[in-house]
Amino acid sequence: MLVFLFRRIAAGAVLVVVVATATFLLLNLTGTDVARNVLGETASRSAVTAKSHELGLDQPLVERYWHWVEQAAQGNLGSSWFTGDSVNQSLMDTLPVTLSVVLTGLLIAAVLSVALGAAAALRGGWVDRAVQFAAVLGTAVPSFLIALVLVVTLAVQLGWLPATGYVALGTSATDWFRSIILPAVSLAVAATAATAMQVRGAMIDVLRADFVRTLRSRGLSTRSVVFKHALRNAAPPALTVIALQFIGLISGAVVVEKVFGLPGIGTLANSAAVRGDAPVLLGTVVVTVGIVVAVNLLLDIAYGWLNPKVRVS
């Protein structure tokens, strides 16, 4: 198990390095005049040259890359070229926002998808058809559209919830919940749709299994069969899908954060990409890839724990 773990961690670390290097090269080979962008269109040429020197942009590419790697290896992701803010601090400020939305969205998706998937499998008939239709609709409608509809109706028209902004959990739990519930629901719709269909399929398979028939023949109630045995056996494929949805939700957060004006990692990456703020963009890429690697690692460990055959592959 330890060798298996070590291999997975090493592979994850290599992935982070490869992605970071590729991002660094992409950002530095675009020919963008960063110093001009930092100073604005009205700055003089001499000011732009001075800024270029200040940012170290007149250094050779390899030297700049090595400097970044050295700093990053010590946990220092540098500072924004535009604001001078520490990238580490910016990530610490923005990551809780994104994780709040994504994890809440994931929780909503998990609860709803299990309920809907199980109901569809158990009831069949019109309930099944309704869940399947809703799942197709939920997958087809983009999250930003759901976000726009939610913000216009519930925030702008009815005034029940805030249209934009984020309140930290430490400041007020209620306000935190109110600030993230609409974005979380926007993200949860597609994830719920995808996972509910997995739960439905797995439940139908399990309910048809011999052991369920045996349990029923021994006189166990439907509730007991469903909750104690069928759902537990149908859970692994659903858990896999949910874990993968987590990664999808992080990328979906970029758009949803924009609609709700949330200062999350998506907004940070977006504004850094538009301006060409390489240190910030590199920092967000490294952290996001790190999260993806960590989630995959946890999934691998779970698989390895469930199925020893996976550990040797």
Partner 1 sequence: MRKTVAIIGAGLLTATATACGGGTQAAGGDKTLTLAESVTATPWDLAKASMGPEAQYYQPVFDTLIRLDSKGEPTPNLATSWSYDKAQTTLTLKLRTGVKFTDGTALDADAVRQSLLHTKSGTGSAAGEIQDITGVDVVDAHTVAIKLSHPTASLLSALGQVSGMIAGPKSLENPKVPVGSGPYQLDTSATTAGQTYTYTRNPDYWNAKAFPYDKIVVKYLADPTARTNALLSGQLDGATLNLNRVATVKGRGLNVVTYQPGDIEGLYIWDRAGKKVPALGKLKVRQALNHAFDRQAIVKSAKTGLGTPTTQLFAPGEDGNDAGLDDTYSYDPAKARKLLAEAGYPDGFSVTIPDLSAMFPQEQAALTQSLKDIGIKVKLDNLPGDQVFSSMLSGKYAMSYFKLGAPTVWDKVQLQLTKKSTWNPFKYDDPKADDLIERIGKATGAKRSALFKQLNTYVVEQAWNAPWNVIANAYATAKDVKVTPQPGTQYPPIYNYAPAAK
Least Å distance, CB 274 to partner 1, is 6
Report the interface residues with partner 1, using CB under 8 A. Answer: 30-33, 36-37, 39-45, 47, 50-51, 54, 82-85, 89-90, 93, 111, 148, 151-152, 155-156, 159-165, 174, 177-178, 181, 227, 258-261, 263, 267-268, 270-271, 274-276
Question: How many other CB atoms sit within 10 Å of the CB of residue 60?
Answer: 8
How far are the Cα atoms of 131, 187, 248 from residue 198, in angstroms, in the given order? Answer: 12, 18, 16
C-beta of 36 vs 229, nearer to partner 1 = 36
C-beta of 47 vs 103, nearer to partner 1 = 47
Alpha-carbon torsion angle 6, 10, 11, 15, nearest 10: 150
Contact (CB, 8 A) for 194 and 114: no
Distance CA 267, CA 101 (A): 13
Least Å distance, CB 108 to partner 1, is 9
Least Å distance, CB 11 to partner 1, is 33
Task: Give phi and psi for 141, each to the nearest 5.
Answer: -80, 125
C-beta of 32 vs 251, nearer to partner 1 = 32
Least Å distance, CB 90 to partner 1, is 6
C-beta of 42 vs 313, nearer to partner 1 = 42
Question: How many other CB atoms sit within 10 Å of the CB of residue 174?
Answer: 8
Least Å distance, CB 7 to partner 1, is 37
Alpha-carbon torsion angle 260, 85, 176, 256, nearest 10: 20
What six digits make up the tokens of 31?
Answer: 């020919």
| End-to-end C-alpha distance for the chain, whole angstroms | 12
Distance CA 174, CA 171 (A): 9
Least Å distance, CB 148 to partner 1, is 8
C-beta of 273 vs 310, nearer to partner 1 = 273
C-beta of 277 vs 300, nearer to partner 1 = 277
